[in-house]
Amino acid sequence: MKNRITWDFLMTRYPVFFPLVLLVLSVAINLYLQPNMFQLSTLNSNMRVFLPLILLTVGQAIVLIAGGIDISVGGIVSVVNTILATRVGLEGSSELMWQYVLISLLVGALAGAINGFFIAYLRLQPIITTYATSFLYAGFALFILPNPGGGIPSAIASVYRTSTPLSLPLAFYVIAILLLVWAYVSSTRYGKYLFAVGGKAEAAYETAVPVTLVQFSAYVISGFMAALAGIAITMLSGSGNADIGNPMTLNSITAVVIGGNAFSGGIGGVAGPILGAITLSVIQNIISFSHINTWWETLVKATIIVAALAAPGVINLFRRRRA
């Protein structure tokens, strides 16, 4: 009985526990296969690649906490990427870059606001709404940049790619800031509202929580984070491509769930999903370094991910058997 409470306690009160175990495990395997993994240059080159997904995942996590889902985030990433690639250009100045970074963030928030408007105020179902807007955004990105090309000055891109202040990858600082901001936000009243709305919207409404506003804001945050992800991936690739964000959407959702947030809303946080995003990427590395037969790679990777998703359930099943 006591034992059971401890496990459930860990799983429900500390949703970060399991994703942390997964991450440690996968990092250990990766380290075994790639001993120089923690060398600064290797670490940095990995983290800079993971960061866009991490940023996207944070926004997705907040929407999921608030009881929604956002499958238009990839589209928003593409829009931001094409804006930067066409407006700043390969020859642009760093002032111009700053200017369009700000504009991109506004555009991301605006795109999120469009989602939020339809979902919170017109009360449309989130999956199908963001599916529809994902066409709007992806189409808009293609409209801005019909053919891949353009980009940002390589000097600016290399700031992102090579900065390692105090011998730590830039991404670590970004993650630290994200965690700090979340630690703050989740303990504000607004943070409680997010959980309340995701938990049971009717009850929250009867308790005088501004439900629609909170739902709306979650999508704005998600749009904003998608814009940050768009900026990051533009800095990483240095170029523009209207389809750049599309494949990222489903990964962000998987990362959030591996990170321990419930699909039904009202539970979880942001730290778990960040770990989840890193774990997903590390798994890819493991596949690379383990030199399995190419034809098996996709199968093995997918199986590992399914196993990771199912692991808590297997443990629970096993525990219940014993009890």
Partner 1 sequence: MPESLSARNIVKRYGGVVALSDGNLDVHTGEVVALIGANGSGKSTMSKVINGVVVLDGGQLLLDNNPVHWSSPQAAKNLGIATVFQELSLIPQMTVAENIWLTREPMTAIGTVNRKVLHEKTEELLSLFRGTYKVDLHPDDPIVSLPSDEKQIIEILKAISFDPWLIILDEATASLDSRQVQRLFELVEDWKEAGKAIIFVSHRMEEIFRIADRYSVLRNGKTVGAGDMKDVSEKELVKLMIEKESVFEYIRKDSKNGENEEKPVCLEVKELQTVTLKGINFSVREGELVGIGGLRGQGQRELLHSLFGDVPYSGTVKLFGNGYKFKHPREAMQIGLALVPGDRGREGLLSIRSILDNLQLPSWPRYGFPLRIKKAKRDAEQVGESLNLKMAGLEEPVSSLSGGNAQKVVLGKWLVRKPKLFLLDDPTKGVDVGTKAEIYSLLTQLCDEGKTILFYSSDDEELIGLCDRVLVLHDGIIRTELSGPSLTKENLISASLGVSNGFHPESRTGGTL
Partner 2 sequence: MKRFSVSPPVAALILAIVLFLLSGFLPNSYGSNVDIAIAQATNIVRLAVFLGVIAAGQTLVIISGSEGIDLSAGSVVTLTAILTYVYVSGENDRVLIALLISLGVGAVIGMLNGIGVTFLKVSPFVMTLGMSGVVTGAIIVVNHGTVSGRIAPIMTRLIARPVSPSIPIPGAVVIWLIFGVLMWLLLERTAFGKNLFAIGVNRVTAKLSGVNVTWTNLATYSLAGALAGFGGFLLVGNTGVVHIQLGQPFLFPSIAAVAVGGTLLSGGKGSYWGTMAGAIVLTLITSLLTTMQMPDSVRRMVLGGTLLILISIYGRQRSLRL
Partner 3 sequence: GPQATEAPTQPPAPTAPAATEEPATTEEPIESGFTIGISNPFISSEYRTQMIAELIEVNQEYMAADITTELVIESADTDVAGQIQQLQNLMAQDVDAILVNPGDVSGLNATLQEALDQGIIVISVDQELDVPGVYNVGIDQKAWAMESAEWLAEKLGGEGDIVLIEGFPGHPANVARMEGVSEVLANYPGINVLATDTGRWDEATGQQVMSNFLAAYPNLDGYWTQDGMAIGALQAVMAANPAEWPQGVGEGRCQFLNLWEEALTMNPDFDSIAVANHPGVSPTGLRIAVNMLQGKEVDESTLGGANGLSFVLPLAAVITSENLDEGLAMCEGQPDAYLLDNIMTEEEVQQFFVQ
Q: Which DSSP helix (H) or strand (E) runs through 200?
A: none
Residue 18 CB, nearest distance to partner 2 (Å)?
Answer: 13
Distance CA(271)–CA(103), nearest Å, equals 28
* Binder among 2, 165, 189, 295 for partner 1 (CB under 8 A): 189
* Binder among 49, 124, 159, 287 for partner 2 (CB under 8 A): 124
Indicate whether 253 belongs to the interface with partner 2 (CB under 8 A): yes
Cα-based torsion angle of the residue sequence 117, 123, 125, 129 in order, rounded to the nearest 10 degrees? -30
* Binder among 18, 195, 216, 224 for partner 1 (CB under 8 A): 195
Indicate whether 249 belongs to the interface with partner 2 (CB under 8 A): no
Collapse the DSSP code of 43 into the 3-class scheme (helix H, G, I; strand E, B; otherwise coil) and give the result.
helix
Residues forming beta bridges with residue 149, ordered by sequence position: 240
* Binder among 213, 236, 262, 305 for partner 3 (CB under 8 A): 236
For residue 216, give every residue at least 6 positions away whose Cβ sits within 8 Å of its Cβ, in sequence order, or none.
113, 116, 117, 119, 120, 121
The site map against partner 1 for 135-174 (x = CB under 8 A) is: ----------------------------------------
Q: Residue 92 has what DSSP assignment?
A: -
Could you tell me if 220 and 116 are in contact, meaning their C-beta atoms sit under 8 angstroms apart?
yes
Q: How is residue 172 written in tokens?
A: 């670590």
* Binder among 46, 254, 279, 285 for partner 2 (CB under 8 A): 254
Residue ranges in 181-240 that form contacts with partner 2 under rule CB under 8 A? 201-202, 205, 211-212
Nearer to partner 2, 120 or 271 (CB): 120
CB neighbourhood size of 191 (10 A) = 17
Question: Which of the choices partner 3, partner 2, partner 1, none does residue 155 contact, using the CB cut-off of 5 to 8 A by kind?
Answer: none
Residue 249 CB, nearest distance to partner 3 (Å)?
Answer: 10
Indicate whether 36 belongs to the interface with partner 3 (CB under 8 A): yes
Indicate whether 210 belongs to the interface with partner 1 (CB under 8 A): yes
* Binder among 49, 113, 159, 213 for partner 3 (CB under 8 A): 49
Residue ranges in 235-274 that form contacts with partner 1 under rule CB under 8 A? 266-267
Cβ-in-10-Å burial (0-12, 13-18, 19+) of 231 comes to buried
Cβ-in-10-Å burial (0-12, 13-18, 19+) of 7 comes to middle
Distance CA(170)–CA(56), nearest Å, equals 17
Nearer to partner 1, 291 or 320 (CB): 320
Nearer to partner 2, 181 or 317 (CB): 317
Region near partner 1 per CB under 8 A, out of 117-125, 150-158, 207-215, 282-290 = 207-215
Residue ranges in 9-28 that form contacts with partner 1 under rule CB under 8 A? 12
Q: Looking at this protein, which amino acid is placed at residue 166?
A: L
Indicate whether 148 belongs to the interface with partner 3 (CB under 8 A): yes
For residue 323, give every residue at least 6 positions away whose Cβ sits within 8 Å of its Cβ, in sequence order, or none.
4
Residues forming beta bridges with residue 240, ordered by sequence position: 149
Of 60, 72, 282, whose CA–CA distance to 178 is shortest?
A: 60
Q: Residue 119 has what DSSP assignment?
A: I
Could you tell me if 62 and 116 are in contact, meaning their C-beta atoms sit under 8 angstroms apart?
no
* Residues that bind partner 1 in the complex, under the rule CB under 8 A: 1, 12, 184, 187-189, 191-193, 195-196, 198-200, 202-210, 266-267
* Residues that bind partner 2 in the complex, under the rule CB under 8 A: 69, 118, 122-125, 127-129, 131-143, 146, 201-202, 205, 211-212, 242, 250, 253-254, 257-258, 262-264, 295-303, 305-306, 309-310, 312-314, 316-317
